[in-house]
Amino acid sequence: MLNTVRPLLLPLMFGLFTLPALAGDLEQPMKKMGFNYKQATKASDPATMEKHINQMRAEIDEAKTRQMPTAKKEKFLEGLTEVQSELDASLAALKAGDEAKAREHLAKVNDLKKEYHKYAKQKG
């Protein structure tokens, strides 16, 4: 009996330990998002702004696939989608040549970040 299951044990244990690591949590995409947000806000030309906003957008897509506390998952996804809408609005403003409006939408991203980080830190 043991001889039959033994070869299965190692791959099984390996799988159990590596699966959560592969799926990961929000820390990595959040760090990248924070970096690109800073780069976008301090950019002095629209092309650089656009590049970092597009990167943030992709990082949110990545964050949406990460592990989240079950009780908060729905609200987290809602917040991440709201951030993407603001980023889209910011990109649209840049395309229309309105950098000031693009920056207003970036400021709203910061408001959303504060709101949802507060929620993320709440117990339960």
Binding site for ligand HEM (CB under 6 A): 25-27, 30-31, 33-34, 37, 76, 79-80, 83, 109, 112-113, 116-117, 120
Nearer of residues 30 and 101 to ligand HEM, judged by Cβ: 30
| Burial (0-12, 13-18, 19+ Cβ within 10 Å), 24 | middle
* Nearest approach, Cβ of residue 9 and ligand HEM (Å): 31
Measured from the Cβ of residue 49, the count of other Cβ atoms closer than 10 Å reads 23
Nearer of residues 12 and 111 to ligand HEM, judged by Cβ: 111
Nearer of residues 12 and 42 to ligand HEM, judged by Cβ: 42
Query: Dihedral sign, CA of 24, 27, 30, 35?
Result: negative
R_g of the chain, CA atoms, integer Å:
19
Phi, psi angle pair for 117, to nearest 5°: -70, -35
Nearer of residues 9 and 78 to ligand HEM, judged by Cβ: 78
* Nearest approach, Cβ of residue 18 and ligand HEM (Å): 18
